[in-house]
Amino acid sequence: MNSFGKLLIIGGMKKIILASTSPRRKEILKIMGLTFSSCSSDYEEEIHLEMPPRDLARYLSRKKAEAVAHKYGNALIIGADTFIHFNAQLLGKPCSKREAVTMLKQLSDTVHEVITGFTIIDTGCGKVRSKSVVTKVSFKKITQDEIKAYVKSGEPLGKAGAYAIQGRGALFIKKIDGDYYNVMGLPLYALSESLKDFGVFVLGRSRN
């Protein structure tokens, strides 16, 4: 057990499986003090499905979790999906440096929403919970030279909206309204609260 607190799982130990190999999501679960394994989900994101953004985030996270759930018995599966909602558009991960440049130009000097949906599945009893969390991010006006240098670093690739808040992408952010970790890829507070419904108490049970 690490220094972040005592992890209690009531009613017997269950394996916790992160349905992702994202380094950022792994880091967040480690911050919570969880002992877990990770498994890549083979579900292909369908970010352009016609449904409200928050519903879509929950839907995609559930599909990712379900794609892994059948591999494990009596385990808790955590699936998640993050994208940007901006000007009635949804921005996922750029597939190329050119696309990353386009995304950063769009987000420059604007306020956008980062939406993460997450789903927890208990494969032992079939219980499922899905939630979505929104964080608003304000970008400064980014110069072409800054965009060029940032994209050249390679950091934007594989990141929703073509930036990493935990990396050099933070240099573009004037302020955020909401959960910082949500922008990284998992809303720490909402996830920890939801895990209580599955008998997982990261810092022990409340006495109130």
Percent of the chain with pLDDT over 90: 84
191, part of any domain: yes
Q: How confident is the model at residue 49 (pLDDT cuts 50, 70, 90)?
A: confident
Print the domain residue range for 79: 8-198
Rounded to the nearest integer, the mean pLDDT of the chain is: 91
122 is catalytic: no
pLDDT given for residue 13 in this prediction: 66
206, part of any domain: no
Q: Token digits for 192?
A: 């920890």
207, part of any domain: no
208, part of any domain: no
Does the model's pTM come out above 0.75?
yes
60, part of any domain: yes
pLDDT mean over 129-157: 97
Q: Token digits for 185?
A: 């890829």
> Based on the structure, what is the number of domains in the chain?
1
Q: Give the closest residue to 43 by CA, choosing from 69, 67, 17.
A: 67
pLDDT in tens, 64-101: 999 999 999 999 999 999 999 999 999 999 999 999 99
3, part of any domain: no
pLDDT in tens, 7-35: 444 444 689 999 999 999 999 999 999 99
Please provide the DSSP assignment of 46-90 as one string. -TT-SS-HHHHHHHHHHHHHHHHHTT-SSEEEEEEEEEEEETTEE
186, part of any domain: yes
The active-site residue, picked from 42, 81, 177, 197, is 81
Burial label for 119, CB within 10 Å (0-12, 13-18, 19+), is buried
Residue 24: CATH number of its domain: 3.90.950.10
pLDDT given for residue 6 in this prediction: 42
Residues, the chain, total?
208
